[in-house]
Chain A
Amino acid sequence: MIRYFFLRLAAAVPTLLMIVTATFFLMHAAPGGPFDQEQVLAPEIQANLQRSYGLDLPIWSQYGRYLASLRHGDFGPSFKYKDFTVTELIAQGFPVTFTLGVIAILLALGIGIPLGTLAALHHNTSLDHATMSLAVLGIAVPTFVVLPFLGLLFGVYLHWLPVAGWEARSIRHLALPVIALALPPLAYIARLTRGSMLEIMGAHFIRTAFAKGLPASTVILRHALRPALMPVASYLVPAVASIMTGSLVVESIAGLPGIGRYLVQGALNRDYTLVLGMVIIYSTLLISLGLLVDLLYAWLDPRVRR
C-alpha cells in the first residue's frame, strides 16, 4: 500500500509536466499576445516589451526558460499585473479561494450524504420525492443565477447578510458565496448517495445484519454507509474541479479577492505565466486529491488493499 502510494506520487510528476507543456503551447498557439491592445503601440515599444519578457526568443527556448524557472519554484512575472509576480498574485488570493472551496465541499458532503441516505431509507415516499426534486433543481440552476437570487433575498430584502464584498475572517461575507458554490455538488452527492444506498440496502450482508438483531441505525451507519460512499468518493475529484471553476463565477459576482478570476482573465489577456501558474496550482490540487481518494477507497473497501 505504501509502495503503491509512492509510485502514484512519482507518476504525478510526468502528469504535471504534460499538463504544463500542453497548456504552454496551447496558450502560445492562441492568436494575439499579452501586449496587443486597442491602441496600437509603436513598433519599437512593442519590440522592447517583447524582448524584456523574452517573447522574441524561439518558442522552444521560451519553453526551456519557463521550465528552468519552474525548477526553482518561480512562476515568473505576470504580463498584465506588471508590478507583481505570479507567485505573489496567487499567494494573495489563494487563501480566499481555498477557504471558500473547502467550506463548500465540506458542506456538500456533510449535507448531501445524510440527505441522500434519508431519501433512500424513505424510498418512494414524499420525503424522497421532495429531496430528489430539490436535488434536480440544485444541479440544473446555474451558480450565476443562484448567487444573485440569494443576495436579493437575504441581503436586499431581509438584510441578514451582506450581498457582496469581503472582510478577512468574516463568516457573514462567506455565507452566500459558499452556499451558492456548494449547491450543485451537494445536490449531486445526495443523488449519488441515495442511489448507492438503495442498492446496498438490498445486499445480503445487510440482511445478515438485520438477522443478527441489530437496530436499524447500527445497520445503516456501521454496515451500509461505507460501501454506499464508494460512488461519492469517485465523484470527489470532479466535484472539486467544478467547485474550482464555480469559484470563478462566485468570486466575480460577490467581489471576493480570490484567484478564481485569474484563470479566465489571464487567458483572455494572454497572460501566459499567470494562466500556467493557475493551471499548475489547480492540477497539483486535483492530482493530490486523486491520491487521497485512492487511500479513501482502501478504507471504504478493504478488498482494494493489497
Chain B
Amino acid sequence: MIPILQIEALSVGFLNSGAMNQAVDQVSLRLAPSECVGIVGESGSGKTQMFMAAMGLLAKNAVARGSVRFEGQEILAQKSALRRVRGSKLAMIFQDPLTSLTPHLKIGVQLAEVLVHHNGVSWHEARYIALRMLDQVQIPEPKRRLHEYPHELSGGMRQRVMIAMSLLCRPSLLIADEPTTALDVTVQAQIIELLRAVREEFAMGLVLISHDLAVVGGLAQRILVMYAGRIVESAPAEELFRHPRHPYTAALLKCIPSVFSAPRTRLPSLAGQPPRIGEKLDACAFAPRCPRAAERCRRERPQLQVAAAGEFACHYPEEL
C-alpha cells in the first residue's frame, strides 16, 4: 500500500545572517492512509517546521532538503504537484484560530473561496456546501455565521470554522498544528472530540502536532516524540504510554499532571533546556538533561533502532 505521506531524510534549516540553523535534522517517517499520528515535542523541536516544509509554507530564509511524497507524488521538490493538492487533498490547520482567519472577510467568503478555487463551483453553490460543513462541525446557527466576521465568534467556534474550512474538499490528510493550544481546557476536549469524529467520517489521515502528550494520547494511534530536530521515539500510543523506551519520553510522561497524584506534591518537571537550534552535535542531544546518560552518550549519537513495537534512538533505553 502506498503511504499517504512519506517523508524521507527531511532537513529544514534557517539561513540567518550567513549561518545555517538546523531545525529539522534528517527525519524520515511514513503515514498509512487514514492513520492518526501524534507528533510530540517541546517548542523548537522541529515538529511544526517539518510539516510546514511539507505544505510549502516555510519562511523565505528556510532551506528544505530531502523528499516528501504525498500519495506517492513528490511535493517538496515539485511545486506544481504541491499546488494541486494543497488545501484540497492535503489540508492544515493552525494553533491560533483568531489570527489564522482573515479579519476583514466574512466566514462565508473564507470558506467558499476554497471550493471556488479547487472545485470550480459557483460562489452560490460553494456557500451552500460551506453551510452544510459548518453544520457538520456542530456550529450553532450556521446560516448566521456565514455573514459574521472572525472576531464575532468565540475561540472554539473559530477553530471549528478552521476545521470546516480544511474539510471542504474532502482531504485525505489533515495536519493539525497545536489545534487546541490557544483554547480553554473544556473547549480543547470538544475540539479533540470533533477531530476524532470527522477523521472517522471522512476516513482521512490525521497528524496531530502538540507539545502536550495528554492531548495527543487520546486520539493518536501512533506517537512520534521529537527532540532537537530528530525523532527520538516512535511507538503505538498505548505501548508508548505503558513502556516508554527513550528517557525523554519517560520524563515527559512523568510531567503529565493527574487527578490522582497526592495533593501538595510538586509536579515533576524536566530540568534544563533543549540544545539551541544550530548546535552541531556529535552526541545525544538529550544527554545533558538525561538521568541515564553515560560517557558513550556524549561522544556517539544514537541512531533510531527497531524495537519490538516501534523505534527509539537511545544507547541506554528504559527497560521493558
Contacts and interface: CB of A to CB of B under 8 A. Distances in A.
Interface of A: 203-205, 207-215, 218, 222-223, 226-227, 300-303
A208 B93 CA distance: 8
B87 A207 contact: no
Contacts of B91: 211
Nearest to B106: A302
Interface residues of B, number: 27
A208 B101 contact: yes
A214 B88 CA distance: 10
A205 B86 contact: no
B254 interface: no
Q: Most chain-A CB neighbours within 10 Å: which of B100, B104, B149, B165?
A: B104
A203 B100 CA distance: 8
A218 B117 CA distance: 10
B149 A302 contact: yes
B113 A212 contact: yes
A213 B88 contact: yes
B151 A207 contact: no
Interface string B102-139: 11110000000110011000000000000000000000
Nearest to A214: B117
A58 to B, nearest CB: 56
Contact of A204 (B94, B104, B113): B94
A214 B102 contact: no
Interface in B64-116: 83, 85-88, 91-92, 94, 96, 99-105, 113-114
Contact of B94 (A207, A218, A222, A301): A207
B102 A302 contact: no
Contacts of A227: 103-104
30 contacts: A204-B94, A204-B96, A204-B99, A205-B100, A207-B94, A207-B100, A208-B102, A208-B162, A209-B102, A210-B57, A211-B87, A211-B91, A211-B94, A212-B86, A212-B87, A212-B165, A213-B87, A213-B117, A213-B118, A214-B113, A222-B105, A222-B113, A223-B105, A226-B104, A301-B103, A302-B103, A302-B104, A303-B103, A303-B149, A303-B151
Interface in B224-264: none
Nearest to B169: A213
B105 A213 contact: no
B100 A204 contact: yes
Nearest to B111: A212
Contacts of B162: 208
B31 interface: no
B103 A212 contact: no
A52 B88 CA distance: 82
B55 interface: yes
A302 B86 contact: no
Given A205-B101, A227-B104, A302-B151, A211 B117 contact: no
A214 B87 contact: yes
Nearest to A203: B99
A205 B103 contact: yes
A294 to B, nearest CB: 16
Nearest to A301: B104
Given A207-B100, A211-B91, 7 more contacts: A203-B99, A208-B102, A211-B55, A213-B85, A213-B114, A214-B87, A223-B105
4 smallest CB-CB distances across A and B, nearest first, come from A213-B87, A212-B87, A204-B99, A213-B86
Q: Most chain-A CB neighbours within 10 Å: which of B85, B103, B113, B162?
A: B103
A179 to B, nearest CB: 33
B103 A211 contact: no
Contact of A300 (B83, B86, B104, B117): B104
Nearest to A212: B87
Nearest to B99: A204
Nearest to A210: B57
Contacts of B117: 212-215, 218
Contacts of A222: 102, 105, 113
Contact of B99 (A205, A210, A218): A205
B15 to A, nearest CB: 13
A122 to B, nearest CB: 12
Interface string B148-159: 010100000000
Contacts of A215: 117
Interface string B31-72: 000000000000000000000000111000000000000000
A207 B92 CA distance: 10
B81 to A, nearest CB: 12
B17 to A, nearest CB: 13
A213 B115 CA distance: 10
Contact of A205 (B102, B114, B118): B102
Contacts of B55: 211
A211 B96 contact: no
Contacts of A300: 104
Contacts of A212: 86-87, 113-114, 117, 165
A57 to B, nearest CB: 56
A208 B55 CA distance: 11
Contacts of B56: 210
A31 to B, nearest CB: 54
A204 to B, nearest CB: 4
Contacts of B99: 203-205
A231 to B, nearest CB: 15
Contacts of A214: 87, 113-114, 117
A211 B86 contact: yes
A226 B104 CA distance: 8
A207 B103 CA distance: 13
